[in-house]
Chains A and B, each alone.
Chain A
């Protein structure tokens, strides 16, 4: 039997804020270091310690809230969420349950060229727990991460496919990175997601009924986009199977048990699968309590203005602008905006191209394309190329090649040389020219000299001239090769060809 199975997916994404210190103490918000180094009485929950909310984390959380168009609560509160776990130092996590920082936000994603608006139900500030490392013998705990500032962003359950989930997470991460809210590195745990999935038979159940029932299954702590997508695919199939089986046994509709599951990624030949953690009957009771140690967070309109003012141009706007202003292809714009750092690099290169240079006309549109190509094709493949070659040097390179001062191939040589020489001194624009000269990369542009190469080649290859005269035009290529060889590869190719053809015409008559 089959039904019209539909899926509703909602996400809860935890984002670690890139503030300098932890949420409630002055410990550095760093954890890729020796264990238990950045800790203090506050973040290890020593008796008698009290939390003091840090401004940096609040400002970043607020920036995230305005970034995704949330309605920001001018007065929000902090609550304690209780459960016992050894890496939770206080026996509770401070979060914003009752009155979150923001409600009703949104994010637009693109799936198969179609734009979908994903409503976001809430954003709130909370603290991270420590890190447990389990081994055969022991459990060890590193509290460097305890008290790190997070925001949790919750979507409405409107997504239907793993593809949408992936697109959403990528868009979200991109926006967060561009706004400087978080590094968004999922492999470092800077972004983690829980997925809520409900499968229902739309031939039997209306959407309103499904809404009323709430989510059926939550999968916890997925730490990559791939894992989130795999988990969705697996879980949808699992739920359909479970539902079909129970219906076959004559049970009521919608018999998927409400439960929390854990994703086990594929390893050693075992496919990825989700595993039961707890069912509704044993769902945790967190006993939320408004934190008596923390005052409510009161915002002023100026705080919101400040947060908006701190928002840089987003990736979407940037791509659109590049396509109009620089005539970049969609693909190039996409690649160059894949990280805020790369985007800034390209932007700087474009600005350097625009800078007026004595005796040269303003850059043509293809100059930007050329710059994009140098960055995407060449610089990216050089190790630490972006650190060693400055954007203005890329601009200079574009000009040198464009004016046929050096060949494209020599341009590559020049780039490698720049990377190698970077150790000594940072160059300036003149240096590139000097380097080209020093490396003997200049092309021969002088017509007289080019003519000499052509005459010499024609002298050597009478046969080629005859074939050309016989109408085999490609014979000119042999002559061109010969002339180029004679110039030891230094003739400007376009000009050489032009001269050669001109000379052949003359020779013919």
Chain B
């Protein structure tokens, strides 16, 4: 196809495809050429210079973390494949799933997605010129990011609910409280959220939905299973007309044109999304600090002498976990790639589930690392999650990687007690962590294990041989996929665009580079570069293959453990695996931002389950007595239970039994006081959107 060169320097004028750009041939001794990696990543020279040394270091450390290359296998074949008979029928237009936007025609009817008006146009005799240029969007700058987090005071933060979601649902379904009351109360709490757990309120729709639900109840219909339950939704889940920023400047103005499948199912079950939850940008981070909206603060942050010592809530589902911990909502949706639900749940003292890969549709989840990403719910108790799970799980034709809930889950018996349950603990893996595993965490975990033992569970020692290499493998694969997934953020169709109209070097490539340099935060840029490097021809091709091989080994390790082999001193198969969720308790805000490799270690214990796609739940264990700024403080510790593929319901059942025997999940941040549910909305009026 011929591409003509435009004369005027306009924004998206495509120069003829880049002419010969001489670049030295790859030298075997210096395989990494940062400028080329940056260019392939859609970045310019400044980024290449900024990350040049670090990139080589990080890649070296990742390489050192992987076992030596044995065979150049690509890892195990994925467990499933698509059969022709199961593919999406070739049926154009027949279902609401495609759109016909014609000027003047009603564009909302039967459509689940609206074409941006600026895109569609009439075709005229003089050809395509009459349709609007895609480049005609108003460019806008990068929203200002608060440089220093402003520490709010959580003292006297109002809270209405003291129980969990099931307690609230009982009240709602019995009619003791209306959906509108419940949603109003949640909105009120969210509007005075001092932790920056939520970034946008869904006021109008939330109240409309609540009213409709109340009306339904008043006409004598059966209440929906989650009737009037206020929920928060992580900012990387699409809700139509609501911001889906993924906490990135690049999508700061991006309102989703459709609703994610899981959110739709949640709404259909009667839940009411009331707010968008903060997160780490594009789910990359373990502290909640990498957000364009500002960092979320852990509700457990201690206050000494009237001064708040801000702690990180963990990440990337920072707002999700904090919103539940701060009693803003009893239930919230997050997403988990390497531990993004479990780690913040552990650090915030709430219960978070990473479901089996594929059980929850990913359609509408803004992808970070597609082969790891799962949507994960967070609540105050495992029984809440158990109630929620069947309502949102199941095959979605829009996500071909979603799996049937029944095939795999059948073989797990319903348990009513923990007696005789076999729980494996990877002792050697924990021992090898050494100092990385904080003593308080180890102590709390040991106590949880004792509680399980006391309840009749058999604790056996297991070995996960390749779990030590899991972190490096996870980072190589997730960064590769992230670099690929985020290539679509180019300023052409949506989101931020930086263009220098009128400047001499303004061409397409310059626009894409400038947009991506300004739109992505440092951590996202770093991981895109790592991922590009891992996939590029520049000497590192082996990195990705080795990571895939390690992933297959880790998966096999788990299979052996669940299948009854490789147990040390015991010849039975393990029902579940227990280990701490995070090697540390909540750390100070900003304490780890300087050292990305140290930050990555937060995922040390969560990534093995991620690599194998297994379900895992993080439960609050006994609080850790720790010292914070010279004073003692009690901080939450989480431990995770990992089940075999498809055992989500079973896992939730065991977790519920554990929580029935213990009280750890009832612990609340010290300064969150219950207040009566009455009172007005503190000046929030319907319709006035935040």
Residues of A at the B interface (CB closer than 8 Å) are: 19-21, 25-29, 33-41, 44-59, 62, 75, 80, 82, 84-86, 89-92, 132-143, 221, 223, 262, 264-265, 276-279, 281-282, 285, 287-290, 292-300, 303
Return the chain A residue nearest B80 by Cβ: A295
How many A-B Cβ pairs are below 8 Å? 293
B493 contact set on A, CB distance < 8 A: 44-46, 89
**A86 in contact with B134 given A25-B97, A132-B14 (CB within 8 Å):** yes
A44 contact set on B, CB distance < 8 A: 493
Cα of A137 to Cα of B12 in the assembled complex, Å: 9
B488 contact set on A, CB distance < 8 A: 45, 47, 89-91
Cα of A19 to Cα of B250 in the assembled complex, Å: 36
Cα of A402 to Cα of B362 in the assembled complex, Å: 70
Cα of A292 to Cα of B3 in the assembled complex, Å: 33
**A91 in contact with B487 given A26-B97, A50-B362, A282-B21 (CB within 8 Å):** yes
- Inter-subunit contact B14/A139 (CB<8 Å): yes
A40 contact set on B, CB distance < 8 A: 97-99, 113
A75 contact set on B, CB distance < 8 A: 77, 81
B371 contact set on A, CB distance < 8 A: 292
- Inter-subunit contact A300/B7 (CB<8 Å): no
The 3 A-B residue pairs whose C-beta atoms are closest, nearest first, are A91-B487, A56-B90, A298-B81
Which B84-117 residues sit within 8 Å CB-CB of chain A?
Answer: 84-85, 87-95, 97-102, 113, 115
Cβ 8 A contact of A281, one of B1, B20, B365, B544: B20
**A138 in contact with B10 given A34-B123, A37-B101, A50-B363 (CB within 8 Å):** yes
Cα of A40 to Cα of B362 in the assembled complex, Å: 17
Cα of A265 to Cα of B2 in the assembled complex, Å: 9
Cα of A439 to Cα of B23 in the assembled complex, Å: 80
Question: Could you show 6 A-B contacts with beta carbons less than 8 Å apart?
Answer: A45-B488, A134-B6, A135-B6, A136-B6, A264-B2, A285-B538
B94 contact set on A, CB distance < 8 A: 26
- Inter-subunit contact A36/B90 (CB<8 Å): no
- Inter-subunit contact A80/B484 (CB<8 Å): yes
CB distance from A24 to the nearest CB of B (A): 8
Cβ 8 A contact of A140, one of B128, B237, B362, B365: B128
A137 contact set on B, CB distance < 8 A: 6, 8, 10, 13
B370 contact set on A, CB distance < 8 A: 292-293
Q: Is the C-beta of B399 less than 8 angstroms from some C-beta in chain A?
A: yes
Q: Is the C-beta of B435 less than 8 angstroms from some C-beta in chain A?
A: no
CB distance from B610 to the nearest CB of A (A): 13
Return the chain A residue nearest B25 by Cβ: A281
- Inter-subunit contact A281/B22 (CB<8 Å): yes
**Which stretch in B197-205, B344-352, B446-454, B529-537 binds the other chain?**
B529-537
Return the chain B residue nearest A30 by Cβ: B92
- Inter-subunit contact B89/A55 (CB<8 Å): yes
- Inter-subunit contact A35/B257 (CB<8 Å): no
**A133 in contact with B88 given A26-B93, A46-B257, A140-B133 (CB within 8 Å):** no
- Inter-subunit contact A36/B119 (CB<8 Å): yes
A262 contact set on B, CB distance < 8 A: 2, 17
CB distance from B40 to the nearest CB of A (A): 6
- Inter-subunit contact A136/B8 (CB<8 Å): yes
Which B7-33 residues sit within 8 Å CB-CB of chain A?
Answer: 7-8, 10-14, 17-25
- Inter-subunit contact A86/B12 (CB<8 Å): yes
B635 contact set on A, CB distance < 8 A: none
Cβ 8 A contact of A51, one of B8, B244, B400: B400
A51 contact set on B, CB distance < 8 A: 400
Q: Is the C-beta of B214 less than 8 angstroms from some C-beta in chain A?
A: no
Given A91-B484, A292-B369: 17 more A-B contacts, CB < 8 Å: A33-B123, A35-B128, A36-B119, A40-B98, A44-B493, A48-B244, A50-B400, A53-B87, A86-B490, A134-B6, A139-B13, A285-B536, A287-B484, A289-B544, A292-B481, A295-B401, A300-B84
- Inter-subunit contact B135/A48 (CB<8 Å): no
- Inter-subunit contact A134/B90 (CB<8 Å): no
CB distance from B95 to the nearest CB of A (A): 7
- Inter-subunit contact B113/A41 (CB<8 Å): yes
A-contact 0/1 string along B242-268, CB 8 Å cutoff: 001010000100101110100000000
User: Which of B244, B486, B492, B544 has most chain A Cβ within 10 Å?
Assistant: B492
Q: Is the C-beta of B423 less than 8 angstroms from some C-beta in chain A?
A: no
Q: Is the C-beta of B394 less than 8 angstroms from some C-beta in chain A?
A: no
Cβ 8 A contact of A35, one of B98, B131, B398: B131
Return the chain A residue nearest B365 by Cβ: A48
A45 contact set on B, CB distance < 8 A: 488, 493
Cβ 8 A contact of A84, one of B4, B42, B258: B42
CB distance from B203 to the nearest CB of A (A): 23
A223 contact set on B, CB distance < 8 A: 1
Cβ 8 A contact of B134, one of A134, A141, A221, A293: A141
CB distance from B149 to the nearest CB of A (A): 26
Cα of A287 to Cα of B485 in the assembled complex, Å: 13
**A132 in contact with B3 given A84-B509, A89-B493, A290-B74 (CB within 8 Å):** yes
Q: Is the C-beta of B129 less than 8 angstroms from some C-beta in chain A?
A: yes
**A34 in contact with B6 given A26-B93, A86-B14, A299-B84 (CB within 8 Å):** no
**A296 in contact with B82 given A84-B512, A282-B21, A287-B535 (CB within 8 Å):** yes
CB distance from A187 to the nearest CB of B (A): 13
**A276 in contact with B400 given A57-B90, A292-B370 (CB within 8 Å):** no
B55 contact set on A, CB distance < 8 A: none
B365 contact set on A, CB distance < 8 A: 48
Q: Is the C-beta of B397 less than 8 angstroms from some C-beta in chain A?
A: yes
- Inter-subunit contact A134/B3 (CB<8 Å): yes
Q: Is the C-beta of B587 less than 8 angstroms from some C-beta in chain A?
A: no
Return the chain B residue nearest A55 by Cβ: B87
Cβ 8 A contact of B19, one of A52, A57, A276: A276
Cα of A49 to Cα of B87 in the assembled complex, Å: 17
Q: Is the C-beta of B508 less than 8 angstroms from some C-beta in chain A?
A: yes
A294 contact set on B, CB distance < 8 A: 82, 400-401
Q: Is the C-beta of B364 less than 8 angstroms from some C-beta in chain A?
A: yes
- Inter-subunit contact B123/A281 (CB<8 Å): no
Cα of A262 to Cα of B4 in the assembled complex, Å: 12
Q: Is the C-beta of B132 less than 8 angstroms from some C-beta in chain A?
A: yes
Cα of A28 to Cα of B12 in the assembled complex, Å: 28
CB distance from B256 to the nearest CB of A (A): 7
Cα of A215 to Cα of B509 in the assembled complex, Å: 29
- Inter-subunit contact B363/A48 (CB<8 Å): yes
- Inter-subunit contact A139/B256 (CB<8 Å): no
A33 contact set on B, CB distance < 8 A: 123
Q: Is the C-beta of B38 less than 8 angstroms from some C-beta in chain A?
A: no
CB distance from B567 to the nearest CB of A (A): 32
CB distance from A182 to the nearest CB of B (A): 15
Which B554-605 residues sit within 8 Å CB-CB of chain A?
Answer: none
B251 contact set on A, CB distance < 8 A: 47
Q: Is the C-beta of B438 less than 8 angstroms from some C-beta in chain A?
A: no
- Inter-subunit contact A47/B92 (CB<8 Å): no
- Inter-subunit contact A281/B23 (CB<8 Å): yes
CB distance from A149 to the nearest CB of B (A): 10
- Inter-subunit contact A19/B535 (CB<8 Å): no
Return the chain B residue nearest A130 by Cβ: B134
Q: Is the C-beta of B157 less than 8 angstroms from some C-beta in chain A?
A: no
- Inter-subunit contact B131/A142 (CB<8 Å): yes
Cβ 8 A contact of A287, one of B97, B397, B536: B536
CB distance from B399 to the nearest CB of A (A): 5
Cα of A293 to Cα of B23 in the assembled complex, Å: 34
B20 contact set on A, CB distance < 8 A: 276, 278-279, 281-282
CB distance from A311 to the nearest CB of B (A): 17
User: Which of B19, B134, B483 has most chain A Cβ within 10 Å?
Assistant: B134
CB distance from A63 to the nearest CB of B (A): 12
Q: Is the C-beta of B367 less than 8 angstroms from some C-beta in chain A?
A: yes
Cβ 8 A contact of B92, one of A27, A50, A142, A221: A27
- Inter-subunit contact B480/A34 (CB<8 Å): no
Which B339-374 residues sit within 8 Å CB-CB of chain A?
Answer: 362-367, 369-371
- Inter-subunit contact B17/A278 (CB<8 Å): yes
Q: Is the C-beta of B122 less than 8 angstroms from some C-beta in chain A?
A: yes
A-contact 0/1 string along B127-164, CB 8 Å cutoff: 11101111110000000000000000000000000000
